[in-house]
Amino acid sequence: MPFHHARLENGLEVIAELNDQAHSVAAGFFVKAGSRDESAEVAGVSHFLEHMTFKGTERRDALAVNRDFDRVGAKHNAQTSEEDTFYHVTCLPEYLPACFDVLSDILRPTLREEDFETEKQVIIEEIRMYMDNPMSVAYEAAKSAHFGRHPLGNSILGSVQSITDMKVDAMRSYFRDHYCPSNIVLGFAGRGRWEDLLAMASDRCGDWSGGSTSRLADPVRGAAAVRQIVREEDLQQTVVGVSDAPPLETEDRYAAHLLATVLGDHTGSRLYWTLIDPGLADGAGLSYQDYNQAGTFFTFLSCEPEEADANLSRIEDVYRTVMDSGVTAEELEQAKNKVLARSVLRSERPMGRLASLGFHWMYRHAYLTVEQELDAFSRVSLDDLRRLLREYPLCPMTVVSVGPTTAPGESK
């Protein structure tokens, strides 16, 4: 599948991986603007701004934005993370010009004060909804406790107070600083002609203006902190643990994905057989999250409150065993089979390829084919995992417990 890259005169980078065998096409804008780029005064502005882009432009109101996507059967959405905000659409190739007209249009929203004040209440209700979810509370608190004052500890949603106090002028200023062409990557995946895509990008985005911005992404290691949040109304205890892991810039991210699969996949992992299969917990897992110059292993546990302390000890026993003895060849082979299968299945959809293409280009300025990704996972050895565990031990870890009891205690 051919890969193409160009940079418009205003600094916007355009990339595409084209596939004549595909029956659809995906397009997306990757904006390097997430919660880690926010100051305390505008906490939650990246996510809030994502909402506001759909509220109207000079050419469309909110109804027209949704109507123009819907009338051609397009699937569109956006999402905000610690790292970035991703706007995307998937449609039939013949409808891409119409869909891209809408997608590019919303990247230049009017940010009307009336819409801002209305959507503010929507964001506040969303925050309150998440505050009702013990896992969301534990996850946000665990990030904050682990990273401390580093911006990776920022909440993606912000707080009720920060959103209430936010002014529309602060959002407009953030938009000008971060939604400049040089801070955005436009990607395409699926069926299409490069000449047509580039001409469309130039026509719709070539007049975008703005300066340049840069992110101070210092390497960071977290602190093995402990925090307990008592919620007497909860029926279960929810625990989130955080350990350091490789950043997205390193090749060790492949080994980290495989290690998380061996230990914490939702089926057939060590945590599954230790806690889920015997009925000691209803949820237990380990996942790997890579960031710009940082990484984390997230441990998740939900169980009966009286079992929380014992279950955390069981998890730490699993981790210390693998740190001492490593994983087996059979476990590594099984993990590779799972990860490779998921990678292939995801890559068969233009939307799956688009996400991979955009994030690799934004943070590594590299084009990675499916075959290269599969080969990178296949080359991970038992020695690689042993070295990874020496450099990034799973214990001690930051532990945040949410529920009716103060257990569990400090990670050892």
Residues 136-149: pLDDT tens digits?
999 999 999 999 99
Fold equal for 3-205 and 226-403: yes
Residue 217 has pLDDT above 90, yes or no: no
Residue 92 has pLDDT above 70, yes or no: yes
Q: What is the mean pLDDT of residues 403-408?
A: 81
Q: What is the mean pLDDT of residues 103-111?
A: 97
Specify the CATH number for 226-403; select among 3.30.499.10, 3.30.830.10, 3.30.200.20, 3.30.300.130.
3.30.830.10
Q: How far apart are the C-alpha atoms of 370 and 368, rounded to whole Å?
A: 7
Amino acid 412: pLDDT: 47
Residue 165 has pLDDT above 90, yes or no: yes
User: 393 burial class (0-12, 13-18, 19+ CB within 10 angstroms)?
Assistant: middle
Q: What is the mean pLDDT of residues 18-45?
A: 96
Amino acid 211: pLDDT: 76
For the chain, how are helix, strand and coil distributed in percent, rounded to 5? 50, 20, 35
Residue 301 has pLDDT above 70, yes or no: yes
Work out the pLDDT band at 410, boundaries 50, 70, 90: low
Work out the pLDDT band at 409, boundaries 50, 70, 90: low
Amino acid 223: pLDDT: 84
pTM here is 0.93
Amino acid 253: pLDDT: 97
Work out the pLDDT band at 61, boundaries 50, 70, 90: very high
Q: What is the mean pLDDT of residues 324-349?
A: 96
Q: How far apart are the C-alpha atoms of 175 and 181, rounded to whole Å?
A: 11
% of the chain surpassing 90 pLDDT:
93
Q: How far apart are the C-alpha atoms of 228 and 221, rounded to whole Å?
A: 22
Residue 15 has pLDDT above 60, yes or no: yes
Q: How far apart are the C-alpha atoms of 329 and 280, rounded to whole Å?
A: 27
Residue 270 has pLDDT above 70, yes or no: yes
Q: What stretches of 222-339 adopt beta strand conformation (E)? A: 226-230, 237-244, 283-291, 294-303
What's domain 3-205's architecture?
2-Layer Sandwich (3.30)
Residue 38 has pLDDT above 80, yes or no: yes
First-to-final CA distance of the chain? 49
Q: What is the mean pLDDT of the chain?
A: 95
Q: What is the mean pLDDT of residues 39-64?
A: 96
Q: What stretches of 292-352 adopt beta strand conformation (E)? A: 294-303
Could you state, in order of their start, the residue ranges of all structural domains in the chain?
3-205, 226-403
Q: How many CB atoms lie within 10 A of CB 94?
A: 10
Work out the pLDDT band at 18, boundaries 50, 70, 90: very high
